[in-house]
């Protein structure tokens, strides 16, 4: 039977929240994924994680991310999805990093064949919404059936029920 995979990237630690740098014990997308998983208990969850650890200092991190974006880096991931064929729907969560998903998300997207699969993107942000992320994902996986993206204000990750419902609607 076809299944749903919730794949996400999330960065715990220093981040920009409502105008100031704060330490997040858990990243915003991780919090959002918990909500989606509660509504879809039968779905599997895959964390997109890089082998390399990013800088802990927020300002150093954003510089590092900018350089990766400029270099079109494809950072190595710690794990792979076992048998992507079993999934017909992939809910894909990521933060907005300089207007696009972190480069690790592209490593993920370029690692599998998404032909005929539905991808439901959602993006947490601090003001830029989805940015150019949907266009970039479309370019990375033209063979996938991409739904509209859902933008979630990162600072509202713990109370974003309306957006989570939208994601669930798209995933149906
Ligand atoms: C490297 C980096 C770049 C970011 N760039 C943007 C941006 O261009 N626009 C924006 O609205 N938010 C930006 N943010 C804020 C994040 O998108 C936001 O805090 C998000 O909710 C983080 O999700 P996470 O905790 O799951 O990683 C950036 C954060 C980081 C760390």
Shortest CA distance to 106 belongs to which of 90, 94, 116, 118?
A: 94
Give one word for 37, left, alpha or beta, with left for phi > 0 and alpha for psi -120 to 50. Answer: alpha
Q: Which domain holds residue 165?
A: 3-171
Check residue 9 and give its pLDDT. 98
Cβ–Cβ contacts within 10 Å for residue 17, how many?
Answer: 16
Q: For residue 94, which atom of ligand 1 is closest to its CA?
A: 26
Check residue 170 and give its pLDDT. 97
Residue whose CA is at the smallest distance from ligand 1 atom 16: 125
68 CA → ligand 1 middle, Å: 15
From 10, 16, 65, 163, give the residue whose CB has the most ligand 1 atoms within 8 Å, as the site to mutate.
Answer: 16
Residue tagged 């990162």 (tokens): 154
Q: Is this prediction's pTM over 0.95?
A: yes
Residue tagged 């991780």 (tokens): 30
Encoding tokens for residue 104? 């690790």
Q: For residue 124, which atom of ligand 1 is closest to its CA?
A: 21
88 CA → ligand 1 middle, Å: 28
* pLDDT by position in tens, the chain (length 172): 679 999 999 999 999 888 899 999 999 999 999 999 999 999 999 999 999 999 889 999 999 999 999 999 999 999 999 999 999 999 999 999 999 999 999 999 999 999 999 999 999 999 999 999 999 999 999 999 999 999 999 999 999 999 999 999 999 9
Check residue 93 and give its pLDDT. 98
Check residue 1 and give its pLDDT. 67
Tell me whether strands 13-17 and 20-24 are parallel, antiparallel or unpaired.
antiparallel
Residue tagged 């959602």 (tokens): 122
Q: For residue 12, which atom of ligand 1 is closest to its CA?
A: 25
**CATH code at position 69:** 3.40.50.360
Residue whose CA is at the smallest distance from ligand 1 atom 29: 97
113 CA → ligand 1 middle, Å: 28
Q: Tell me how far CA of residue 49 lies from CA of 80, 87, 144, in angstroms.
A: 10, 20, 22
3-state secondary structure of 92: strand
Q: How many domains does the chain have?
A: 1
């Amino acid at each position: 039977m076809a299944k749903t995979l919730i794949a996400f990237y999330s960065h715990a630690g220093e981040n920009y929240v409502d105008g100031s740098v704060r330490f997040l014990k858990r990243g915003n997308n991780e919090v959002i994924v918990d909500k989606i998983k509660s509504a879809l208990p039968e779905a599997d969850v895959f964390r997109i994680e890089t082998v390399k650890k990013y800088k802990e200092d927020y300002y150093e991190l954003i510089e590092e991310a900018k350089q990766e974006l400029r270099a079109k880096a494809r950072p190595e991931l710690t794990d792979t999805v076992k048998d992507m064929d079993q999934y017909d729907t992939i809910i894909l969560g990521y933060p907005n990093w300089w207007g696009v998903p972190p480069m690790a998300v592209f490593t993920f997207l370029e690692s599998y064949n998404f032909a005929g699969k539905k991808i439901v993107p959602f993006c947490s942000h601090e003001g830029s919404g989805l940015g150019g992320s949907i266009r970039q994902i479309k370019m990375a996986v033209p063979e996938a059936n991409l739904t509209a993206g859902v933008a979630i204000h990162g600072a509202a990750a713990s109370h974003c029920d309306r957006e989570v419902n939208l994601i669930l609607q798209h995933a149906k």
